[in-house]
Amino acid sequence: MKVIIVKDYEEASHKACEIMLDVIKNNPSANLGLATGSTPIRLYELMREDHKTNGTSYKQIKSFNLDEYFGLDQSHPQSYHYFMCQNLFNELDIDMNNVHVPKGNGDIDEECKAYNQLLEENPIDIQLLGIGSNGHIGFNEPGTAFDSVTHKVDLKQSTIEDNARLFFNGKIEDVPTQAVSMGIANIMNAKKVLLIASGEGKAKAIQATVEGPKTTEVPASALQDHPDCILIVDEAAATLLK
């Protein structure tokens, strides 16, 4: 695992953008694994700016998101599909047929199977990740097996609370309690992994990910075994690192 410590969120986003654009420029038909949450918002803004200013094209790019809430339609303003359109896709030249976000409704078992198949057929070139304060990646909460693939998840209370802040105007009762998520094995299959962590709320999770034992209690610690994993950590999130 390569840890790059940067000053703050802004610098982390710029560094991450550099790495993403490098992958895209070297392979204009790359498969991107994407994340939602507050962490990638600035990165997505920088990618939109770059597309507008420098014309980087996404016409041949395929995208695969990590996760989606269970019970929300794609058009629901709190769905991750909607989030991705608002924060990234609507301002790129990406073909929406090449955009994939797990479906959070319908026959979930079938949807998980289909998503795993899709990932097998389209190996991810770079997987972007944020990290939960409890060390989760995607919606893989502590205790998730390292060999897990796309599956339905019961969200932990801490994740429901964290997400209420961001997505549901603080209304915990509106946050879905289940989600569909790529598994840890799907994430580990990506050729390159890029995790961004910003803010002191992530310091414990980053310490456990980088310095702790590899344990399913800290899902991100699985990344210790990934052959090409970059962690961009700002000073606040790096405070507990030796």
- Among the listed residues 32, 36, 42, 37, the one whose alpha carbon sits nearest the alpha carbon of residue 6: 42
Work out how close the CB of 232 gets to ligand F6R at its nearest, in angstroms, rounded to a whole number: 13
Phi, psi (rounded to 5 degrees) for 231:
-110, 120
Is 100:136 a contact under the CB 8 Å cutoff?
Answer: no
Is 63:100 a contact under the CB 8 Å cutoff?
Answer: yes
Work out how close the CB of 37 gets to ligand F6R at its nearest, in angstroms, rounded to a whole number: 3
Decide if 98 is catalytic.
Answer: no
Phi, psi (rounded to 5 degrees) for 22:
-60, -45
Which one, 60 or 236, has the nearer CB to ligand F6R? 236
Question: Residue from 13, 46, 67, 151 that binds ligand F6R (CB under 6 A)?
Answer: 67
Strands 229-234 and 192-197: parallel
Which one, 36 or 98, has the nearer CB to ligand F6R? 36
Work out how close the CB of 7 gets to ligand F6R at its nearest, in angstroms, rounded to a whole number: 18
- Over the window 110 to 139, marking each residue x when it contacts ligand F6R by CB under 6 A and - when it does not, the resulting string is --------------------xxx---xxxx
Phi, psi (rounded to 5 degrees) for 204:
-65, -45
Decide if 141 is catalytic.
Answer: yes
Which one, 164 or 166, has the nearer CB to ligand F6R? 166
Work out how close the CB of 97 gets to ligand F6R at its nearest, in angstroms, rounded to a whole number: 21
By CB under 6 A, tell whether 166 contacts ligand F6R: yes
CA distance 58 to 30: 9
The structure tokens listed for 195 are: 């995790």
Active site residues: 67, 134, 136, 141
Q: Give residues in contact with ligand F6R (CB under 6 A).
A: 35-39, 66-67, 130-132, 136-139, 166
